[in-house]
Amino acid sequence: MNNQQHFRSVKVVTADPSALGLFGLAMVTLVASSQKLGWTEGTALILPWAFFLGGLAQFIAALLDAKHNNTFGTTAFGAFGLFWFGVGMSWLILSGALGENLQAIADPKQLGVAFVGYLIFSVFMTVGAMGTHKVLFFIFVLIDFLFIGLSLSSFDIMYEFSHMLAAISELLIALLSFYGSAAAVLNNHYGQVVLPVGKPFGPFKNQQ
C-alpha cells in the first residue's frame, strides 16, 4: 500500500516594521534634542517618549524584524529600544524618583561608559547600514556623532562643544528618521518610490 504524505507550506506575512521603529526613534530624539538645545527644560516629560516611543516602539519593531529573519534590523531596533529604557531608568535614578539612596550613590560617569559601549556598537552597525540604504546609513553616521558627543560630555571633556555636538546630531537624527519612516510607509503603501532612500553601497555585497 502506497502511503502518500502531503505537506502544506504556510507563509506568515508581516508588515515591514521599519516605519514604526524609525518613527519611535524620530520622536524620542526630537523631544530629547529640544532639552539639549535649551528649547525645553528637564527630563521629566522626555521620560514617556523615552519609554514608549524610543523604547517600546523600537523593541516591537525588533521583534517583528526577527520574523523577517532580519538580523540587522532586529539588532538595531532591539539594542536602541533597550538603550532608551536604560536611559529613562538612569534619569529616574538621578532625579531621585527611585529613592534618595540610589540617587546618592549614582555616578553619572557610568552612564558615560555605557555611551562609549553604544558608540562601539553604532560604529559597526554603520558599516552594516551601507547594505540597507543611504538614509539609514546617514542616520547611523549621525548616531555615531551623537555618542561621541554624549561620551565626551559625560566625562566633562570639551563640555560645551561635545554637548552641542550631541544636541545637533540628535536633532538631525530625528529629522532624517521622520523622512525614513515616511518613505517606508508611502513607498510600501503605493508600491512605488514616493520618497527615495538611495541604494545600498560600499565594499561589501549582501551574499544572501
Q: What is the pLDDT of residue 203?
A: 87
pLDDT in tens, 118-153: 999 999 999 999 999 999 999 999 999 999 999 999
Q: Residue 83 is inside which H or E element, if any?
A: helix 71-95
pTM: 0.91
Q: Give the gyration radius of the chain's Cα atoms.
A: 20
Q: Which residues contact 150 (CB under 8 A, 6 or more apart)?
A: 112, 115, 162, 166
**Quick one: which of 85, 93, 89 has its CA closest to 24?**
85
Distance CA 33, CA 29 (A): 6
CA atoms within 13 A on the CB side of 19: 12
Q: What residues does each domain of the chain span?
A: 18-190
pLDDT in tens, 19-42: 999 999 999 999 999 999 999 999
Distance CA 83, CA 136 (A): 18
Q: Are 50 and 84 in contact (CB under 8 A)?
A: yes
